[in-house]
């Protein structure tokens, strides 16, 4: 959801902005940025505009753009020349328009941060990294790092979607099959099974379910839609409380937590490699992606401001395992912190991949077990009584 937020700075200036997220997350984000909340109202116009509007470049496009941009700079082209060259080559309409705006802004003398911000298509990490890179003169390396960052984010998104496709297809197929069996097959079997078989509780339940689905299937459909809507709203307003229980679930909880660590430490690596200090890095990560895991950075940031080292601040929060704070302490000792951020990101990236495989390995047999159980119930309630009845009326029946 989008929110129109009015807040007050410590100097007494009023700030009006539009923020995205759950209401509680937005309020926390305002407080995190040292602002006093005055009012907050939902922005339904912005919400519906963004439902149908695609105004952002995909991870794949961003990765390709920054890789080519880095190669152009490395070959000796100026930023203006590299952007002009890429504009001539690209066939993506949004990227082409974006590069046109970038070229005009750079010619007008705007900084890289302002030029990229003016396009309204690049995330905060790009603006912050390019701002630091322009000041340090390290633009070629930073653009290459950004290309690798968006490449990973895109691949991670695709990997998760692919992992969910098969279980989702199996679930939909099994649900459709159970409904068809209940509506088409059960009534026919019910008309020919022995009368005494109908007294079985499970048989009566299946017959009742089939009759209900035949006459009131639309109620079941509306009920399902309503249940999904209610769950979404409950998640939106009670996310923090529910996440405490979700993270305790086997496999799923570990996957969510590990994926959160991957995101945090990959971002910290990019920010640190770009030359952005740790306080600003944590502020940007939470401000751009407020959720239950990144919310932990608020306490870490406050403790670092109080004089804690980053390793000690992470150690004081039991949410972060020893592997993280031990590596961070080594990074602080050696002065090579960004490299240890990268090692932590790689470690949890592999763990999240393993968790996804374990979760899929568990889900598929579970779905098949449910399907087999339902078919077994149909057989025990209808087929076996019918078979027994037919056997009893055959030759030799007395």
Helix (H, G, I), strand (E, B) or coil at 20: strand
> What was the pLDDT predicted at 249?
85
CA distances to 220, 264, 336 from 308, rounded to whole Å, are 56, 19, 18
- Please name which of 72, 71, 58 lies closest in space to residue 150, comparing C-alpha atoms: 58
And the tokens for 369? 């077990």
> What was the pLDDT predicted at 391?
62
d(Cα 313, Cα 72) in Å, to the nearest integer? Answer: 41
**How many helical (H) and strand (E) elements, i.e. helices and strands, does the chain have?**
18, 3
Length of the chain: 398
Residue 376 Cα to chain centre, angstroms: 37
Q: Please, what are the averages of pLDDT over each run of 10 residues along the chain (398 residues)?
A: 76 74 70 75 66 66 92 90 89 88 86 85 88 86 92 86 80 78 78 72 78 79 86 75 82 87 93 90 86 87 92 92 94 92 93 84 79 78 71 52
Packed helices 278-288 and 252-274: angle between N→C axes, nearest 10 degrees? 130
> What was the pLDDT predicted at 397?
43
> What was the pLDDT predicted at 69?
92
């Amino acid at each position: 959801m989008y929110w129109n937020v009015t807040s007050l700075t410590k100097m007494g200036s009023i700030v009006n902005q539009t923020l995205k997220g759950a209401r509680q997350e937005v309020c926390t984000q305002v407080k995190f940025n040292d602002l006093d909340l005055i009012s907050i109202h939902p922005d339904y116009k912005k919400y519906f505009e963004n439902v149908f509007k695609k105004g952002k470049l995909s991870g794949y496009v961003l990765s390709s753009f920054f890789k080519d941009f880095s190669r152009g700079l490395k070959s000796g082209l100026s930023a203006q020349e590299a952007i002009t060259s890429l504009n001539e080559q690209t066939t993506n309409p949004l990227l082409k328009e974006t590069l046109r705006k970038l070229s005009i802004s750079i010619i007008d003398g705007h900084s890289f941060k302002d030029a990229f911000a003016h396009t309204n298509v690049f995330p905060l990490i790009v603006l912050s990294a390019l701002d630091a890179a322009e000041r340090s003169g390290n633009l070629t390396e930073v653009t290459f790092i950004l290309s690798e960052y968006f490449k990973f984010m895109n691949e991670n998104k695709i990997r998760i979607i692919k992992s969910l496709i098969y279980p989702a297809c199996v679930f939909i197929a099994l649900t459709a099959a159970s409904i068809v069996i209940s509506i088409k097959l059960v009534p026919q079997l019910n008309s020919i099974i022995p009368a005494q078989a109908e007294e079985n509780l499970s048989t009566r339940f299946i017959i009742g379910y089939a009759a209900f689905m035949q006459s009131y299937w639309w109620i079941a459909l509306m009920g399902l839609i309503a249940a999904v809507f209610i769950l979404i709203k409950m998640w939106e307003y009670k996310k923090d409380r529910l996440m405490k229980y979700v993270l305790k679930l086997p496999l799923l909880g570990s996957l969510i937590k590990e994926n959160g660590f991957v995101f945090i430490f990959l971002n910290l690596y990019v920010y640190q490699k770009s030359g952005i200090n740790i306080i600003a890095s944590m502020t940007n990560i939470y401000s751009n992606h407020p959720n239950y895991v990144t919310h932990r950075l608020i306490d870490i940031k406050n403790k670092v401001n109080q004089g804690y080292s980053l390793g000690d601040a992470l150690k004081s929060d039991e949410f972060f395992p020893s592997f993280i704070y031990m590596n961070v302490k080594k990074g602080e000792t050696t002065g090579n912190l960004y490299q240890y951020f990268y090692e932590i990101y790689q470690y949890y990236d592999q763990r999240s991949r393993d968790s996804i495989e374990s979760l899929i390995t568990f889900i598929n047999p579970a779905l098949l077990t449910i399907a087999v159980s339902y078919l077994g119930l149909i057989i025990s309630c209808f087929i076996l009584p019918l078979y027994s009845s037919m056997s009893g009326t055959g030759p030799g029946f007395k």
